[in-house]
Structure 1
Amino acid sequence: MERFLNNYLHTFSCFNLETGDFPGPVVTISRQAGCSAQRIAIKLSKILTGYSYMSETKTDAEWSWVDKSIFSDVVENMIIEINNGSYDDKAEAVRMMKEVARAFSNETIYDISDKKLIDIFKGVICKLATSGRKIIVGRSAGVILRNVPDKLNIRLEAPTEWRINRVMQLKDLSQAEAAKYINEMDQKRDSFIEKIIGRKAENNDFDIIFNYASLEDDQIVDAVINILKDKKIISSQFNL
């Protein structure tokens, strides 16, 4: 297993200082419990795809937000590459790859504590970023890709009381149940980030933090588009 981790996953490190080869473009969205990152990711993917199709290249232009099916597809492709390689620990590597994919799909990824599984997960996130034009929601992708230049790390936050009320409505929970839910989810996500980078997330791990309680989804999307233009991650010569 060490050979797989040291050799195969090393090829998907998030950047290569020697060659100047960086993945991206990629957008990551971190959020506190009660903030709907998925809706913003879907809207962003559609708008950014439109910008890409109007760019000079007009090739490989589609942006996609990473759901469990896209994550699973990337894992399956990596498994094919592993099976075609010369690793003597193929069976164990494939088993652990599939375990990470299952954890991603059923929202138990934050419960993973095994360092090898975490390293594999980081490798998959880097593989996704390498393919470019991805919007990754949660899963600590922002801190994993924090050193990638061609990216935008977004954070959605809101006051605790507002989030409790929203979760009460969305999940039909009592106030106490909603408060327990957001507290547990926030703790899980914070704990997973500590497993990834060895410390708690800080504000400077994100490029921009939005107050989800005071902004509409479209306002956040518009702001993100403008920032991506200013950072020259997308073309600035077109307006939708």
Structure 2
Amino acid sequence: MNNILLKYMESRFQSKIIDPRRGVFCEGPVVTISRECGCTAINIANMMAEKLTLKTGNKWTCLTKEILEQSAKELNLAPEKIEYVFNSKEKSTWDEILAALSSKYYQSDRKIKKTISDVVRAFASKGNCIIIGRGGVVLTQNIERSFHIKLHAPLEWRAAQLQEIYKLSTNEMLSYAKEIDKKREILRNYFNKEPLSNTVFDVIYNSKNLSDEMIAEASIHMMEMKGVLGKHIVMR
């Protein structure tokens, strides 16, 4: 009984965000970072989370593998069973049939992608998070208190960054970068239902010419100017 009452009180008095210009409840704030292969986002995201936590007084978190893990949990599957979706692979009809017959926990590609989109939207709606990839830019477009970043750079520069990690040839890294870029584009386009335009981003940075610190600082400044952080918290 006490647990039921506690859950009700938590739900009833959960903080909501109101936009003073419109007098309506808003979700967020949320940041999404899309990137071309070879443009590292995690350092920027961690810097932004730390700075935004200090600035707002609310704990900000970076989300990457957490989306995969929560989606798998919702589907009652191991994370590795759905990871192929993020690699833009699809089961053949025959694979779907075999999987359905062999496992009572079978889930279709469509169900998995629907769950991923629901999980991303849930994290974004709750706010105070930075979502790296995972189709986040598409799935959070309807959230007013959102800020969307894209990192890009010349292909040759990106291949050189990858060489430092994987110790493979330039040609191998050029091919790898192109392949990963294509896979990420396929996932974004699936959620968007059509090819994604750069106009969905608030800002696009050239990672070759700008440091992680510069990108993090500039992004937070623009978030403030856009009003992403400047709303009033009220009780429902």
TM-score computed with the length of structure 1 as normaliser: 0.72
Equivalences, count: 191
Larger deviation, residues 62-71 vs 145-154: 62-71
Q: Name the counterpart of 2:52.
A: 48
Larger deviation, residues 64-73 vs 127-136: 64-73
Q: Name the counterpart of 1:29.
A: 33
Which of residues 211, 216, 232 in structure 1 aligns to 2:211? 216
Q: Secondary structure at the match of 2:151?
A: strand
How far, CA to CA, are the matches of 2:80 and 2:123 in structure 1?
A: 17
Which of residues 96, 116, 123 in structure 2 aligns to 1:121? 116
Q: Which has the larger strand fraction?
A: 2
Q: How does 1:188-227 map to 2 (within 5 A)?
A: 188-227=183-222
Q: Assess, with a 3 A threshold, how the Cα gap between structure 1 residues 194 and 71 changes in structure 2: closer, same or farther.
A: closer
Task: Name the amino acid aligned to 2:51.
Answer: I
Q: Assess, with a 3 A threshold, how the Cα gap between structure 1 residues 121 and 208 changes in structure 2: closer, same or farther.
A: same
Q: Assess, with a 3 A threshold, how the Cα gap between structure 1 residues 201 and 178 changes in structure 2: closer, same or farther.
A: same
Structure 2: unaligned runs, 5 residues or longer: 1-22, 91-108, 232-236
How far, CA to CA, are the matches of 2:84 and 2:212 in structure 1?
A: 24
Q: Contact 1:51/1:234 (CA < 8 Å) preserved in 2?
A: no
Q: Name the counterpart of 2:86.
A: 109
Q: Contact 2:67/2:120 (CA < 8 Å) preserved in 1?
A: no
Q: Contact 1:155/1:209 (CA < 8 Å) preserved in 2?
A: yes
- Aligned identity (percent) is 29
Task: Name the amino acid aligned to 1:232.
Answer: G
Q: Which has the larger radius of gyration?
A: 2
Q: Secondary structure at the match of 1:201?
A: coil
How big is the alpha-carbon RMSD for the aligned residues of Structure 1 and Structure 2?
2.3
Would you say 1:150 and 2:145 are equivalent positions?
A: yes
Q: Contact 1:75/1:124 (CA < 8 Å) preserved in 2?
A: no
